[in-house]
Amino acid sequence: MMDWKDRIAALILVKQELMRQDVERIWPHHFPEVGATEKSLQDLEEELGYKLDFTYRSFLQHANGWKGFYQTVDLFGTEQLKDSTKNVYAERLLKAIDDLVLKESCVIRSELLPIAATEYDKDLFVLCLPNSAKPGEILWFAGEEIDRFENFVEFFLAMTEYNREEILALRG
């Protein structure tokens, strides 16, 4: 089981250093949202019609979304996963991914849940649903598949590293 408090705290420290290095304010800088309640998670699952991936759900109990999670990418919380403006935009991004790209990635569009996106580019992160061939896997698309993560834990750890790389790039 992931110790989300420690991992979130570690990423907050990374994001604070990134903010210090980002003197031109290229990226938005936010703290994560307060964890979701069990009721809000149950309501979301009822609305979606399936149980959320266990590790993502566990994360949401500690941080119910995170604006500027990576560059301008917002990691969705329970409200964004519902029929929100961000979700509608993310669904549009998902629909815009070429069928050939999805085929090469061995995924089916209807088996993907957008969990993070940016309104400033075409970066989209999707979670493979329980009925998919690889439930719990996370894929990063930006016109094509950029990266793939075995599960939400691996995704979170990788995004922490990507944020560290941004620090190094800004130090240049």
pTM of the model: 0.95
CATH number for the domain that contains residue 157: 3.40.1580.10
Range of the domain at 9: 4-171
| Count of domains for the chain | 1
Torsion of CA 110, 111, 113, 114, to 10 degrees: -60
CA-closest candidate to residue 90, choices 106, 103, 73, 67? 73
Q: How confident is the model at residue 1 (pLDDT cuts 50, 70, 90)?
A: low
β partners of residue 126: 114, 139
Mean pLDDT of the region 74-89: 93
